[in-house]
Structure 1
Amino acid sequence: MEGVGKIARRDFLKVTSLLGGGLLIGFPFVGKSEAVAATEFIPNAYIKLAADGQITLLAPNPEIGQGVKTALPMLLAEEMDLDWNSIQVEQAHYDAKKYGVQIAGGSGSVRNRWEETRKAGATARLMLVQAAAQKWGVSPEACTTQAGKVIHPKGSPSLAYADLVADAAKLPVPEQVKLKDKKDFRLIGKRIENVDNPAILTGKPLFGLDYRTEGMYMAVVARPPAFGLKLGSFDASAAEAIPGVHKVVQAGDVVAVLAKNTWTAKKGRDALKIDWVRDTPAESSAEQEKTLAALTETLAERPTRKDGNPEEQLTGGTVLEALYEAPLLPHATLEPMNFFADVKGDRAYLYGPVQTPARTQAEVARVLGIPAENIEIGLSRMGGGFGRRLMADFTVEAAQISAAAQEPVLLVWMREDDMQAGMYRPNGRYRYKAKISDSGSIQAWHLSAAALNSRRASLGPSFPAGTLENFRIDDHNLSSNVTTAPWRAPNHNIVCWAEQSFLDECAHAAGKDPLKLQLELLDRAIANPVGELNYDPKRYKGVIEAVAQMSKWDNNRSGGPRFQGFAAHYSFMSYVAEVVEIEMVNNKPKIVKVYAAVDCGQVVNLSGAENQIEGGIVDGIGHALFGELTLKEGKVAEQNFNAYRLAMLRDAPVQIETKFLDTPYPPTGLGEPGLPPAIPAFTNAIFAATGKRVRSLPLSKMDFNV
């Protein structure tokens, strides 16, 4: 490492060379583990035991703040019986052949690696035990392990793992290993500090923006100032005349300015004279909203789901109808978009914050015509992503600029770049109809959903599907030149709000308690499910009952000065029910407390799990309050944080209480499931307090003092 913030471009390879001897245990996540000679390099997610006693665990999935760089090594350490304080954790580089799927998205990192990661740790432990047993002439089954040591059947002596690496490396790798019983866990389920905390707090170079290497240039890009425009011609003479500007290059439909620092590159970018030409029609938010709403008035040729005959049922009697509207949202990552690229001939080295390195490798290979196997990718920690860094536009752009300039470059997007030309959560419209019987039950249900660039705007067989005999969903798409992408809890973040809000409306129309109405529907699904379900109604019911008890729901329904709203949702294989408790202060809804009951199977890191649920709640509520992007003639009006407001400390809940249900299931998702129910629980609480329904987000558009 050379200088502050300097990162050697291939430092991550050094962990594969064990000077002085040692045991390197690599493991793929499909297939069996294998032990290799200490000097060999097998870049799987692996465990390294050095002769000096240092143990290094590699985390294969990208770290985006969801805690997998801590959680996955915890699984290894648990099965190996390691002293957590004695290990080092390092981020693995990208290698699909060795690590399998490396992605930060869909709340699936721990869920998808749960069993294989534990097997890798158990394999290492068993080989070390076998090595010790051979030394002592005893049965391996009679030996025990604790804190990085193998203990003799009589309790003494013991051998540190470091003393066994040479012998363990000579042993055949066992094909079958026994995993620990839950009752024997020492790490899993405990609170463990995030392994990156010390480096984050002391400003160590963890993030993509920190990357530095010799001969590198910073690159800032001029992009079309509105959707529907493309590059015509440009004059770079004024930019090239600025002292410090190294080079100006065209890369695809953008123009990049290279300099030794970002500020000079930005000044050069701003001095470019560019003629942008209209390529496709300019769009506006008003036009999109009108078209989306009109689409929801129509029936799809093929419904996404249809049970019974809801059309006939919805023609008479008491029919409730409501239209819910949600806007475009940016991802607004704290760390601006950035990526490093060094393209030389038919080879490329890439490094930076990316959620899907596989997509980056494939897209760079396609665009530049470089063999995928010649594209090497190192992974940095990400300063936020929320789905934005699932996309490959910025990574491909960096590679194109490097190839055009024949220089190593760190591409840096200004905040305005991503707000104006980034990827957004699709805006959508959701029209609900429900028939309420004279006895107060829901007899029929129809959702007509429409969203921008969306193959399916609804959630298909999700709740309340399966609870009603007459049920229909229609999905509609509005194609647009506005670029869209997954946004934390894609689809769920909008549909949950609309659906749980409308269920609240149905409950009030039927004269029923909103929470108990949903329990009644789930009882129907338990007793006599209708069609396909993608959820377990018993687990769904479990979190609702838990949050009702936590929040003392029945005791807080009399009204004032605090008011409660309820919502529940199933997403990414997890069940979350939330109650938001508010007070109205000077016509402003102040969130006093949020209760969250969660069934996510086995919790790995309790600290990380709490952070994910609490962070999702704050994120959801913040965007419900203020989040909105608007288009006029194809241009985004909110260019930076002075115009696009994010939630501040004063807007956050005063207190969040989270309870994880103890259920006998493997881990499920946590990065996203806490967000969706927070929004409708909040808006339902506002209705309880004011009698005003929130059917259009954000709340800042309403007459509340937010």
Structure 2
Amino acid sequence: MKLAATAGGGLFLGFSWTGSLASALEVVSDTAIAAGEINFNSYLALSPDGIVTILSPNPELGQNIKTSFPMIVAEELDADWTKVKVVQAPLDTNKFERQVTGGSGAVPHSWERLRKAGATARHMLLEAAAKRWKVSAGTLRTENGFVLNPANGKKLSYGELATEASKVPVPENVKLKDPKDFKLIGTAVRNVDNHEMITGKPLYGLDFYKDGMLFAMIQRPTAFGLKLKSVDATAAKAMPGIVDVVTFKNNVAVVGKSTWQVSKARKALKVQYEAEAALESSADHDRIFKELLNSTDATVRRKDGDVEAAFKSAAKVIKSEYQCPFLSHSPMEPMNFFAHVRPDGVELVGPTQTPERARDQVAELLKIAPEKVTVQLTRLGGGFGRRLSADFALEAAELSSIIKAPVKVIWSREDDMTGGTYRPAVRYRFEAALDAKGNMIGYKLRGVGMNSGNPTREDNFPSGAVDNLLIDSVEHKSPITTGPWRAPITNFLAFAEQSFIDEVAHAAGKDPVQFRLELLDKAKKSPVGEIKYDIDRMRGVINLAAEKSGWGKKKGVAQGFSVYFSHRSYVAQVGEVELKDNKPVIKKIYAAADCGMVVNLSGANQQVRGGIVDGLGHAMYSNLTFKNGAPEQENFNSYRLIRMKEIPEVDVHFVHNGIDPTGLGEPALPPTGGAVANAIFKATGKRLRNQPFAEQEELKTV
């Protein structure tokens, strides 16, 4: 804000981070701060030197929201992008709604709000120019940070008009641009944090530092189902730089003056635990899955028609089971958070996908009003759903309240991988009934999940396209903690569903793409029950992916198809596999995405590519197993992620249908496993039904 203050007038609105109500706005007169920024609304401010400051309220974890949000505002404002400064907004539930990164919902939720913010300021600038020139605002136009008068060629910069425009009454309704007139939206714009990231400037939670703060690392139970029994911290307390060792709840926190000192001291702790729940191993999970797949106590999620009659009359029945393991989120930046609990309020700083949740849960923990808690957002070094939880913020706040000092809690990589909140392990059983003509007349799906909630998506395709359908689920309550993992549930369900549909298509003697299109035609002409996906949008990505990949027309390459609807968007993929030394090698993946209007072409392209790499890597390699409640993989030496040389060529295409954006942070991941597995089957004749693929005998025996 100081950088924008150069010369002359205006109203300056600043945040105070030290008062008891740190989110309260402080109004400073224009004589106190020369050339302060002039706030037009919650999202943008102008300074007399022409700099446009746009606030990005949602957490940025790599989904490019900190660039895309300001692009939407700047488009309607007709701003000069070279003069736009983007600032991460703190949590402010009065000024903003849904300051959350999750569910691929940020742009769909804020699209119209952001457009109105820019259009409102543009209207006020036009009115200010019209008043100065004594003409009708309707005769003027805006372009690249200027108001232009076509009648006489005169122009005024936004900076010249900022102070006058701020005094124009704010309109209740403004006209938004016709998308055909967009100049910025739909183009490729580099990430606004690129320079800071490349040059190592402080951006992330781990970078945050405040004079006087302490560092802490926490010893948590070494297995799920254990509770703290005793602690001997004598040796740890005697080590250099250690300020205190604190026991709270089931944790032991070592507090000191540097991360290195507390890390070494934590290893000197002597901690004993005792079991408070059954200690589960991966072998137990296999047995539990088998039992629950045959359970008579299932929750029916959807039932259409007479399923039992359809299977009794079937000419052919196909039955398969698919299983996925627990997975760690493994963001590059481990969990961390800063907290300073004072008598007059609480200051929180760090990487969170849900700042309001962090604020409210801390307020509840400390028995204070939420208004007394401020949350400042840093950039997130990855999240993938892990930072939807607020446990690490709660740890920092509770510890600060105990030691009466500002503290940053830091998790090590091993803490991050063994500390819980994993992708749930799930097993699915599919059954399909075909008539004599190869039409699918019956469909069954049972999902068994470990703390997964509902491991199915009962209203997704092929629901609505099959006359007789039953989808149910059974849940196992495990002491192993789980939570949302990028594209929750669908991250694996899509692979299982799309692989099974491929199995059914082959059993019916039909082309897999044509088989899906026939099902969609059935849903369009004779829908069964409620259909919650858009048939035409799904058909659109299927046709685009088939066209761009040359589906069925290539020689020497095996192709596999997959399509999925999740988080309001549609993505179809074609995987291509070649045999090299009799082993399948993934050569290329084609992707066709319908996410509505693309805001930032560069960011959207990378979201699809990133989702594919994420989906492929975890389907191929990642696996988290347990022995007596303890994770057996603790770091990247034993928890396998995809490597650079294993990433195939990715060819991305977008459907341009002109509808409002529908989200893209997650939808490209779910179809990838199915496209690759189906291509491997086409190349080898081996059907992959369990992840990770690389550990399956089907691949080892090719």
User: What TM-score, normalized to structure 1?
Assistant: 0.94
Query: The residue matched to 1:314 in structure 2 has which SS?
Result: helix
Per the alignment, do residues 66 and 148 of structure 1 end up closer, same or farther by CA in structure 2, a change over 3 Å counting? same
Q: Give the letter aligned to residue 49 of structure 1.
A: L
More divergent stretch after superposition (446-455 vs 283-292) = 283-292
Per the alignment, do residues 184 and 700 of structure 1 end up closer, same or farther by CA in structure 2, a change over 3 Å counting? same
State the partner residue of 1:86.
83
Instruction: Give me the whole-angstrom Cα distance separating, in 2, the residues matched to 1:581 and 1:175.
Output: 53
- Does residue 667 (structure 1) correspond to residue 643 (structure 2)? The answer is no
How many residues are matched? Answer: 682
How far is the alpha carbon of 1:700 from its aligned partner? 1.9
Instruction: Give me the whole-angstrom Cα distance separating, in 1, the residues matched to 2:173 and 2:162.
Output: 20
Identity, in percent, stands at: 48
State the partner residue of 1:62.
59
State the partner residue of 2:34.
none
Q: Give the letter aligned to residue 684 of structure 1.
A: N
- Does residue 635 (structure 1) correspond to residue 630 (structure 2)? The answer is yes
Query: The residue matched to 2:54 in structure 1 has which SS?
Result: strand
Instruction: Give me the whole-angstrom Cα distance separating, in 1, the residues matched to 2:284 and 2:43.
Output: 53
State the partner residue of 1:564.
559
Query: The residue matched to 2:444 in structure 1 has which SS?
Result: strand
- Does residue 279 (structure 1) correspond to residue 276 (structure 2)? The answer is yes
State the partner residue of 1:414.
412
Per the alignment, do residues 38 and 329 of structure 1 end up closer, same or farther by CA in structure 2, a change over 3 Å counting? farther
The one-character-per-residue Cα deviations of 1:278-315 (angstroms, maximum 9, x if unpaired) are 11110111112221232122355541000001122223
Instruction: Give me the whole-angstrom Cα distance separating, in 1, the residues matched to 2:611 and 2:258.
Output: 35
Instruction: Give me the whole-angstrom Cα distance separating, in 2, the residues matched to 1:696 and 1:411.
Output: 37
Instruction: Give me the whole-angstrom Cα distance separating, in 2, the residues matched to 1:690 and 1:592.
Output: 15
| Contact 1:59 1:73 (8 Å CA) reproduced | yes
| Contact 1:21 1:50 (8 Å CA) reproduced | no
How far is the alpha carbon of 1:232 from its aligned partner? 1.8
Per the alignment, do residues 155 and 57 of structure 1 end up closer, same or farther by CA in structure 2, a change over 3 Å counting? farther
Per the alignment, do residues 176 and 698 of structure 1 end up closer, same or farther by CA in structure 2, a change over 3 Å counting? same
Q: 1:691 aligns with which of 678, 685, 694?
A: 685
| Contact 1:23 1:48 (8 Å CA) reproduced | no
State the partner residue of 2:518.
520
Within-5 A mapping of 1:125-524: 125-154=122-151, 156-300=153-297, 302-316=299-313, 317-345=315-343, 347-524=345-522
Instruction: Give me the whole-angstrom Cα distance separating, in 1, the residues matched to 2:74 and 2:614.
Output: 32
Per the alignment, do residues 43 and 628 of structure 1 end up closer, same or farther by CA in structure 2, a change over 3 Å counting? farther
| Contact 2:214 2:406 (8 Å CA) reproduced | yes
- Does residue 657 (structure 1) correspond to residue 654 (structure 2)? The answer is no
Per the alignment, do residues 248 and 42 of structure 1 end up closer, same or farther by CA in structure 2, a change over 3 Å counting? farther
More divergent stretch after superposition (434-443 vs 314-323) = 314-323
How far is the alpha carbon of 1:219 from its aligned partner? 0.7
Query: The residue matched to 1:553 in structure 2 has which SS?
Result: coil
How far is the alpha carbon of 1:449 from its aligned partner? 0.6
The one-character-per-residue Cα deviations of 1:605-655 (angstroms, maximum 9, x if unpaired) are 0000000000000000000111110011000000110100110011111x1
- Does residue 614 (structure 1) correspond to residue 609 (structure 2)? The answer is yes
Per the alignment, do residues 105 and 38 of structure 1 end up closer, same or farther by CA in structure 2, a change over 3 Å counting? farther
Q: Give the letter aligned to residue 22 of structure 1.
A: G
Instruction: Give me the whole-angstrom Cα distance separating, in 2, the residues matched to 1:149 and 1:684.
Output: 54
Q: 1:101 aligns with which of 98, 101, 106?
A: 98
How far is the alpha carbon of 1:561 from its aligned partner? 2.7
Instruction: Give me the whole-angstrom Cα distance separating, in 2, the residues matched to 1:672 and 1:273.
Output: 43
State the partner residue of 2:618.
623
Query: The residue matched to 1:677 in structure 2 has which SS?
Result: helix
| Contact 2:616 2:672 (8 Å CA) reproduced | yes
State the partner residue of 1:598.
593
Query: The residue matched to 2:104 in structure 1 has which SS?
Result: coil
Query: The residue matched to 2:267 in structure 1 has which SS?
Result: helix
Q: Give the letter aligned to residue 561 of structure 1.
A: G
Q: Give the letter aligned to residue 690 of structure 2.
A: S
Instruction: Give me the whole-angstrom Cα distance separating, in 2, the residues matched to 1:14 and 1:383.
Output: 27
| Contact 1:25 1:124 (8 Å CA) reproduced | no
Instruction: Give me the whole-angstrom Cα distance separating, in 2, the residues matched to 1:682 and 1:181.
Output: 40
Query: The residue matched to 2:590 in structure 1 has which SS?
Result: strand
The one-character-per-residue Cα deviations of 1:472-497 (angstroms, maximum 9, x if unpaired) are 10111111111001000001111101
How far is the alpha carbon of 1:18 from its aligned partner? 9.5
Instruction: Give me the whole-angstrom Cα distance separating, in 2, the residues matched to 1:53 and 1:251.
Output: 52
Q: Give the letter aligned to residue 349 of structure 2.
A: Y
How far is the alpha carbon of 1:252 from its aligned partner? 2.2
The one-character-per-residue Cα deviations of 1:526-561 (angstroms, maximum 9, x if unpaired) are 1111111110111111110111100010313xxx63
| Contact 2:145 2:157 (8 Å CA) reproduced | yes
Instruction: Give me the whole-angstrom Cα distance separating, in 1, the residues matched to 2:178 and 2:351.
Output: 36
| Contact 1:337 1:394 (8 Å CA) reproduced | yes
Q: Give the letter aligned to residue 393 of structure 2.
A: T
| Contact 1:43 1:98 (8 Å CA) reproduced | no
Instruction: Give me the whole-angstrom Cα distance separating, in 1, the residues matched to 2:221 and 2:40.
Output: 41
More divergent stretch after superposition (512-521 vs 449-458) = 449-458
Gaps of at least 5 residues in structure 1 are: 1-12, 27-35
Query: The residue matched to 1:22 in structure 2 has which SS?
Result: coil
| Contact 2:10 2:38 (8 Å CA) reproduced | no
More divergent stretch after superposition (249-258 vs 203-212) = 249-258
Instruction: Give me the whole-angstrom Cα distance separating, in 2, the residues matched to 1:319 and 1:141.
Output: 68
The one-character-per-residue Cα deviations of 1:219-274 (angstroms, maximum 9, x if unpaired) are 11101000001112211110011111121112322111112211110111111111
Instruction: Give me the whole-angstrom Cα distance separating, in 2, the residues matched to 1:141 and 1:119.
Output: 18
More divergent stretch after superposition (140-149 vs 243-252) = 243-252
Per the alignment, do residues 205 and 121 of structure 1 end up closer, same or farther by CA in structure 2, a change over 3 Å counting? same
More divergent stretch after superposition (544-553 vs 316-325) = 316-325
| Contact 2:329 2:485 (8 Å CA) reproduced | yes
Q: Give the letter aligned to residue 324 of structure 1.
A: Y
Instruction: Give me the whole-angstrom Cα distance separating, in 2, the residues matched to 1:523 and 1:99.
Output: 42
- Superposition RMSD in Å: 2.0
| Contact 2:39 2:46 (8 Å CA) reproduced | no
Q: Give the letter aligned to residue 52 of structure 1.
A: D
Instruction: Give me the whole-angstrom Cα distance separating, in 2, the residues matched to 1:533 and 1:57.
Output: 40
Query: The residue matched to 2:183 in structure 1 has which SS?
Result: coil
Gaps of at least 5 residues in structure 2 are: 15-26, 31-36
Q: Give the letter aligned to residue 68 of structure 2.
A: A
Q: Give the letter aligned to residue 445 of structure 1.
A: Y
| Contact 2:43 2:114 (8 Å CA) reproduced | no
Query: The residue matched to 1:96 in structure 2 has which SS?
Result: coil
Instruction: Give me the whole-angstrom Cα distance separating, in 1, the residues matched to 2:300 and 2:238.
Output: 60
Query: The residue matched to 2:312 in structure 1 has which SS?
Result: coil
More divergent stretch after superposition (614-623 vs 401-410) = 401-410
Instruction: Give me the whole-angstrom Cα distance separating, in 1, the residues matched to 2:38 and 2:160.
Output: 22
How far is the alpha carbon of 1:53 from its aligned partner? 2.1
| Contact 2:40 2:166 (8 Å CA) reproduced | no
State the partner residue of 1:551.
549
Instruction: Give me the whole-angstrom Cα distance separating, in 2, the residues matched to 1:185 and 1:289.
Output: 54
State the partner residue of 1:680.
674
